[in-house]
């Protein structure tokens, strides 16, 4: 038996079009839902096996509610992305003319995508938000009033409405991206993206430290978004999409490195991507490219060294002020450096010698600071 799939209904939405046309799902196994929350809850409660949620639009950006649901429903996995070209239509009951329209119903995203057209052609009409574009069409079809809906051509056929204007959108290219959700991870395939969700500590450079790991492995980031944690003002949860599968060697390296840099971290899924042009690439770097990358790393090393010196300067003042002596600290640092270098395949002797030079310089600076008046 084919899996059942839920989508934002009623019938006639763009979500249904993505399910039946792009995914070619048998209509017998499709379930229209009243809310996106219901789609997710149904998967966790085993009412159906899969669900489809809109993620972002090329004109109006991310769908915040979908990202909030992905953050909340931790047991759901992204199985695939679907890209659907969207063409809105201005729908009215038969006989209603443009000059008669008093209200326009639609989903907030559709109203935003057609904002320019509505302001120029229907400036006096009241805009009414609905749960979906198909809900809008259904409402207008029952009204017998001079109302209009922004919805699909399929909704016009289903609810017997007249198309007054075809494609009143703001942009020449209007594409909505969807996530197919389930509870099972997909097998390894090519042309994959992966989505991770994480939080970080509130300190300078915390986000940069995470994102820099992707750059070091030449992994392309395709989307970065922050959502409020809903716990504290100024506290955010980050979602990042990138090219590659969780089982790719370079992705594994990045995942291992960033877990320790995050307060919380989880993989929302690796999934087939329809954007093959950005995820199916293999470009051999020239010597100039490699040298440029090395220069970037060298600059970062110097920035980190400068930051380390400033921290040790502060530590010197603190120890002087509080009479602290920690003679075994240097030994611990060198031992830790040797151990970590072994784990990363670096000669521990070389790492130890480098850290000895750094520590000797730090000690010299600390003596100079202590000999003057410390201001901590």
Residue 296 counted as domain residue = yes
Considering the domain architecture, whether residues 93 and 62 belong to the same structural domain is answered as no
Whether 376 maps to a domain, the answer reads no
Say what the pLDDT of residue 76 is: 95
Task: Tell me how far apart the alpha carbons of residues 293 and 289 are, in angstroms, rounded to a whole number.
Answer: 6
Spatial distance between the Cα atoms of 341 and 345, rounded to a whole number of angstroms: 6
Q: Give the separation between CA 355 and CA 337, rounded to whole angstroms.
A: 8
pLDDT one digit per residue (tens) for the chain, 376 residues: 578 999 998 888 888 888 988 888 888 888 999 999 999 999 999 999 999 999 998 888 888 899 999 999 999 999 999 998 888 899 999 988 888 899 999 988 889 888 888 999 998 899 999 988 998 999 999 888 899 999 988 899 889 999 988 888 765 678 889 999 999 888 888 788 999 999 998 888 889 889 988 988 889 999 999 999 888 888 899 999 999 999 998 899 999 989 888 999 999 999 988 875 556 555 566 788 778 878 878 888 888 888 888 888 888 888 888 888 777 888 888 889 889 888 888 898 998 899 999 988 888 887 777 676 554 4
**In this structure, are 11 and 36 located in the same domain?**
yes
**Which of 225, 247, 278 is at the close of a domain?**
278
Does 192 sit behind a cis peptide bond, omega within 30 degrees of 0 on the bond before it? no
Length of the chain as a residue count = 376
Answer whether residue 215 is part of any domain. yes
> Nearest CA to 193 among 262, 264, 267?
267
- Both 183 and 68 in one domain: the answer is yes
Both tokens of 265, joined, read 């971290």
Same domain? For 167 and 182 the reply is no
The reply to whether 168 and 105 lie within a common domain is yes
- Last residue in a domain, options 259, 278, 297: 278
What pLDDT, on the 0 to 100 scale, is given for residue 284? 61
**Domain span including residue 333:** 287-371
Mark which of 175, 202, 220 sits at the end of a domain: 175
pLDDT at position 316, please? 82
CA distance to 34, 136, 368, per residue, from 62 (Å): 20, 21, 54
Q: What's the pLDDT score for residue 376?
A: 46
- Please state, in angstroms and rounded to a whole number, the distance separating the CA atoms of residues 182 and 298: 44
pTM above 0.85, yes or no: no
pLDDT at 245: 92
pLDDT score for 270: 93
Same domain (yes/no): 79, 90: no
Tell me: do 265 and 329 sit in the same domain.
no
| Residues annotated as catalytic (active site), given as ranges | 176, 178
- Residue 329 inside a domain? The answer is yes
Same domain, 264 and 153: no
Same domain assignment for residues 28 and 99: no
* Overall domain count for the chain: 3
Residue 271 within a domain = yes
Our measurement of the distance from residue 98's CA atom to the centroid of its chain's CA atoms, rounded to an integer in Å, reads 40
pLDDT of residue 295: 84
Contact 221, 195 (CB under 8 A): no
Q: Tell me the torsion sign for CA atoms 41, 45, 47, 48.
A: positive
Q: Chain-centre distance of CA 363, in angstroms?
A: 44
Query: Are 76 and 201 contained in the same domain?
Result: yes
* CATH number of 201's domain: 3.30.70.260
Whether 57 and 103 share a structural domain: no
Token representation of residue 60: 């109006």
Q: Give the CATH number, domain containing residue 330.
A: 1.20.59.10
């Amino acid at each position: 038996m084919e899996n059942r799939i839920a989508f934002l209904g009623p019938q006639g939405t763009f979500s249904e079009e993505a399910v039946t046309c792009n995914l070619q799902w048998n209509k017998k196994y499709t379930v229209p839902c009243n809310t996106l929350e219901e789609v997710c809850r149904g998967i966790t409660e085993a009412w159906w096996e899969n669900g489809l949620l809109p993620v972002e639009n090329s004109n109006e950006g991310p769908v915040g509610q979908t990202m909030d649901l992905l953050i909340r429903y931790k047991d759901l996995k992204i199985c695939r992305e679907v890209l659907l070209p969207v063409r809105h239509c201005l729908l009215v009951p038969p006989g209603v003319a443009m000059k008669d329209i008093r209200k326009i119903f639609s989903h907030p995203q559709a109203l935003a995508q057609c904002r320019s057209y509505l302001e120029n052609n229907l400036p006096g009409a009241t805009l009414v938000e609905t749960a979906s574009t198909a809900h809008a069409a259904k409402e207008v079809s029952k009204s017998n009033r001079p109302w209009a809906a922004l919805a699909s051509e399929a909704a016009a056929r289903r609810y017997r409405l007249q198309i007054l204007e075809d494609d009143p959108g703001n942009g020449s290219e209007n594409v909505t991206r969807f996530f197919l959700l389930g509870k099972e991870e997909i097998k390894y395939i090519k042309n994959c993206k992966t989505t991770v969700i994480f939080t970080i500590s509130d300190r300078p450079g915390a986000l940069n430290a995470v994102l820099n790991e992707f750059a070091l492995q030449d992994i392309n980031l395709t989307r970065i978004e922050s959502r409020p944690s809903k716990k504290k003002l100024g506290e955010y949860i980050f979602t990042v999409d990138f090219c590659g599968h969780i089982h790719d060697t370079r992705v594994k390296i990045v995942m291992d490195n960033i877990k320790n840099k995050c307060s919380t971290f989880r993989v929302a899924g690796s999934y087939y991507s329809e954007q093959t042009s950005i995820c199916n690439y293999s470009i051999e770097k020239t010597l100039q490219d490699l040298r440029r990358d090395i220069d970037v790393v060298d600059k970062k090393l110097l920035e980190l060294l400068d930051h380390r010196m400033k921290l040790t300067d502060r530590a010197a003042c603190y120890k002087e002020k509080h009479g602290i002596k920690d003679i075994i600290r240097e030994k611990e640092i060198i031992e830790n450096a040797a151990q970590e270098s072994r784990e990363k395949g670096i000669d521990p002797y070389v790492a130890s010698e480098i850290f000895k030079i750094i520590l000797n310089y730090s000690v010299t600076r600390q003596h100079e600071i202590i000999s003057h008046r410390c201001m901590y």
